Structure 1
Amino acid sequence: MTVGRIAIIGGGPAGLMAAEAAAEAGAEVTVFEAMPTMGRKLLMAGKSGLNITHSDDPERFTTRFGAARERLLPALEGFPAAALREWCAALGIETFIGSSGRVFPTAMKASPLLRAWLARLARQGIVMHTRHRWLGLEGDGLVFDTPGGRRIQRFDAAVLALGGASWPRLGSDASWVPWLEQAGVAVRPFRPANCGFDVQWSEVFSSRFAGEPVKAVVASRGGQSLPGEFVVTSWGVEGSLIYAHSAALRDLWEQEGATILTLDLVPGRSLDRLTGDLARQPARASFANRLRKGAGLAGVKLGLLRETTADAARMDAADLARRIKALPLRLERPRPIERAISSAGGIAWNSVDEHLMLKAVPGVFVAGEMLDWEAPTGGYLLTACFATGRAAGKAAADHISRS
């Protein structure tokens, strides 16, 4: 005997985990996905190696979620990174910790994990419908646009896991916002997170260096300095180091417009040493040779110096060293949210109770990027989606039992 019928709307990581948790609690579960297949954004995330979680100790791990930390804490503690790795192992997917502390499946792909997961969900009796787009609420019913036309479905509880507003072509298009706002749910505007930034490169620089990685640098803004690397693109910059600063840079851009990211192109050398190394270069040597031998700068790093410093070749050793150690890179604007890895904003926390149930719509729970939180790349995003999905699925089943 089941505890009741639960609808899961959204077939991404949060939705599928909610389905699994609800089924384990004894519910009869049906998953509705608007796209032709489940888990499309998960597959996209796995194209370059699925970073499924991070090996940070639990206390440090939870600090990555900023202002939303306290509200996410129960879900993260209920399904921490270690539990996620055990869950992967139970699917037959072994994981390893990379040099940066990030955790990946050994196969470095999402597709084997997704296939194994969907097969297990099917064995649990979970029914899955694709090409079923949720159109909102009508009384106590859920309205769907299906291949057979408009349908109204009724369940004892529902979990919404429809994603945020990044990569809409994969299904996260935020079309649900007006339907929930009409029902009395507060939704904070979506903004790009873990995004690149536009830079006004010259045509010469862009044509020569687009696609080039800038390695072993330190980027600073607002007193925070982080080492890493990023990639020059035809339109600007992207990559892990840019994403790490993107939330603060986006917030500053919203207040002031274009903002500055300061780069140390040779973090392994002190300013005094670099000044001396440059001063020892023969005056008759070309600027490129002086920079290559005196500072180890060549290729894209030298290109960045020239692009941002018109009079670099005329600077003395001291001024040139200071410039190399604090190169200002002007960022014009964040990339559009459609191209961001994730999004900030979503359902306001004061619109959900401690069990992730919408206060305005009892019996309807939410999970994943629909909620107002953000985190850097590194496995934190996926872990929180899995964790909130699991928490919401279990809470939906518990809600039916109590009712």
Structure 2
Amino acid sequence: MTAVAVIGAGPAGLMAAEVLAQGGARVTVYDAMPSAGRKLLMAGRGGLNLTHSEPLPQFMARYREAAPKLHAAIAAFPPDALRTWSEALGEPTFVGSSGRVFPKAFKASPLLRAWLRRLDAAGVRFAFRHRWMGWDGEGRLVFEKPGGAAAIAADATVLALGGASWPRLGSDGGWTTILADKDISISPLRPANSGFIVAWSEIFRTRFEGHPLKGAVLSFGPHRARGEAVITSGGIEGGAIYGLSAELREAIAANAEAVLHVALRPDVHHGELVKRLSASRGKQSFSNFLRKAAQLSPVAVGLLQEAAIGAGQSLSAMSAERLAELINAVPIKLAGVAPIARAISSAGGISFDELDADFMIRKLPGVFAAGEMLDWEAPTGGYLLQASFATGAAAGRGMLKWLDR
């Protein structure tokens, strides 16, 4: 029986292992961590958003310039197939109000446990605490493990080591040096779905750290995202921010800063806001007047104050017209991108030009790559896991085809 190695026990690696085992290969999954699926378990803390229910053309557009490279893999293992796969593991799914798809258990651990049991029954072996270091002079895989190094021969290998976000969970991007030494083209790993740095005033940071801005619309140039953003001690993060993170990151790389605009009451017409703000405030403080007249949360009023102070202006001295304009276009100057170690995912990775149609690295026959190691990014919403599962399955199918050549 053919002996193959899968390096990385995340969604892409485990899916590749499943496909390979079903195809008759003897599979060993290696991982530097003490257990499998650690980042998947972390993702499950928020409900495990497996995929999204929108039609495939809209779904594929979320992958931007990488969409043509991912299309075949996702079309072969689309969202409906992922939902069927989950149900076969005893974890049926449901579609949330936003169109996102979750397991009914709303967490990752039952799904992962069932998956590992099925892999074990299929004969997949696991070797944990094995950190991949490259190849030796005879082409064997070299691992650092407790007790010393090990050199292991494999007929073929799937690399699924992830990107560089949340390195404490196992994906630290250390593989980039190994592959660069083999003359493999790799786009630098960068934060994706990340927070951004803002120089808040001390009073704003102290009072509002951890407070959410709900129902806001965030915009940057022609790009818009609706949802929640959260104030952090050093900046801003959250779902709506993540939807704009690629554009904001590139702007900051080019100009050292970017200005984000926030509409705090996007569903209230400008004229209606002006009317409300033109009313007499009587003996109310100006902050209370704003909260009641425009139905703004305390953090939203604080954000308006930050913008006014930054512009050397006074909110209370503004006309109703100007206040209404500011409420739905609050500028926030982003001074940098939060560290990649805190990002939900990472951009960059192995160039698709280095891969053939079966996800094999052309310069390394018999070596396949999948998941976040590849040069793509996508917003949160189920797109990250879907592409990881789909490319893992595609790499597994590609390896079986190569082994059977």
The TM-score normalised by the length of structure 2 is 0.97
Deviation at 1:148, TM superposition (A): 3.4
Question: Is it true that 1:9 corresponds to 2:7 in the alignment?
Answer: yes
Partner of 2:113: 115
Question: Quick check: 1:6–1:396 contact (8 Å CA) kept in 2?
Answer: no
Residues 72-111 of structure 1, C-alpha deviation per residue, up to 9 Å, x if partnerless? 0111001001000000000001111111111111111111
Distance in 2 (CA, whole Å) between partners of 1:226 and 1:192 is 18
Paired-residue identity, %: 51
Distance in 1 (CA, whole Å) between partners of 2:225 and 2:183 is 41
Once the two structures are superposed, the pairs formed by residues 87-166 of structure 1 within 5 Å of their partners are 87-138=85-136, 139-166=138-165
Deviation at 1:285, TM superposition (A): 4.0
Question: Quick check: 1:62–1:69 contact (8 Å CA) kept in 2?
Answer: yes
Deviation at 1:160, TM superposition (A): 0.3
Question: Is it true that 1:30 corresponds to 2:28 in the alignment?
Answer: yes
**Change over 3 Å in CA distance of 1:147–1:289 after alignment to 2:** closer
Partner of 1:201: 200
**What amino acid does structure 1 have at the position aligned with 2:369?**
V
Distance in 1 (CA, whole Å) between partners of 2:103 and 2:169 is 22
Partner of 1:351: 354
Residues 325-383 of structure 1, C-alpha deviation per residue, up to 9 Å, x if partnerless? 21101111110001100000000111111111011100000000000000000010001
**What amino acid does structure 2 have at the position aligned with 1:189?**
P
Deviation at 1:21, TM superposition (A): 0.5
Shifted more, 151-160 versus 275-284: the winner is: 275-284
RMSD: 1.1
Q: Any idea what SS the aligned residue of 1:215 has?
A: strand
Q: Any idea what SS the aligned residue of 1:46 has?
A: helix
Q: Any idea what SS the aligned residue of 1:343 has?
A: strand
**What amino acid does structure 1 have at the position aligned with 2:181?**
Q
Question: Quick check: 1:49–1:108 contact (8 Å CA) kept in 2?
Answer: yes
Distance in 1 (CA, whole Å) between partners of 2:165 and 2:58 is 26
**Change over 3 Å in CA distance of 1:316–1:283 after alignment to 2:** farther
Once the two structures are superposed, the pairs formed by residues 210-249 of structure 1 within 5 Å of their partners are 210-249=209-248
Question: Quick check: 1:345–1:371 contact (8 Å CA) kept in 2?
Answer: yes
Residues 223-257 of structure 1, C-alpha deviation per residue, up to 9 Å, x if partnerless? 12222111111111111000001110001000001
Shifted more, 43-52 versus 138-147: the winner is: 138-147
Deviation at 1:47, TM superposition (A): 1.3
Deviation at 1:53, TM superposition (A): 0.8
Question: Quick check: 1:210–1:234 contact (8 Å CA) kept in 2?
Answer: yes
Deviation at 1:289, TM superposition (A): 3.0
**Change over 3 Å in CA distance of 1:282–1:43 after alignment to 2:** closer
Partner of 2:396: 393
Residues 203-223 of structure 1, C-alpha deviation per residue, up to 9 Å, x if partnerless? 111111111111111111111
Question: Quick check: 1:288–1:298 contact (8 Å CA) kept in 2?
Answer: no
Residues 257-287 of structure 1, C-alpha deviation per residue, up to 9 Å, x if partnerless? 1111101111121111111111123465431
Partner of 1:280: 279
Q: Any idea what SS the aligned residue of 2:362 has?
A: coil
Distance in 2 (CA, whole Å) between partners of 1:219 and 1:298 is 17
Shifted more, 225-234 versus 58-67: the winner is: 225-234
Distance in 1 (CA, whole Å) between partners of 2:109 and 2:254 is 41
Partner of 1:337: 340
Q: Any idea what SS the aligned residue of 2:404 has?
A: helix
Match of 2:330 among 321, 327, 331: 327
Question: Quick check: 2:16–2:396 contact (8 Å CA) kept in 1?
Answer: yes
Residues 2-50 of structure 1, C-alpha deviation per residue, up to 9 Å, x if partnerless? 4x22110111110000000011111111111110001111111111211
Q: Any idea what SS the aligned residue of 2:347 has?
A: strand
Once the two structures are superposed, the pairs formed by residues 254-333 of structure 1 within 5 Å of their partners are 254-282=253-281, 285-310=284-309, 311-333=314-336
Distance in 1 (CA, whole Å) between partners of 2:246 and 2:280 is 41
4+ residue runs of structure 1 moved beyond 6 angstroms?
A: none
Distance in 1 (CA, whole Å) between partners of 2:374 and 2:235 is 29
Distance in 1 (CA, whole Å) between partners of 2:325 and 2:356 is 52
Distance in 2 (CA, whole Å) between partners of 1:146 and 1:64 is 39
Q: Any idea what SS the aligned residue of 1:309 has?
A: helix
The TM-score normalised by the length of structure 1 is 0.97
**What amino acid does structure 1 have at the position aligned with 2:372?**
E
Once the two structures are superposed, the pairs formed by residues 362-377 of structure 1 within 5 Å of their partners are 362-377=365-380
**What amino acid does structure 2 have at the position aligned with 1:69?**
A
**What amino acid does structure 1 have at the position aligned with 2:383?**
Y
**What amino acid does structure 1 have at the position aligned with 2:391?**
T
Distance in 2 (CA, whole Å) between partners of 1:29 and 1:92 is 24
**What amino acid does structure 2 have at the position aligned with 1:118?**
L
Question: Quick check: 1:291–1:298 contact (8 Å CA) kept in 2?
Answer: no
Distance in 1 (CA, whole Å) between partners of 2:10 and 2:226 is 32
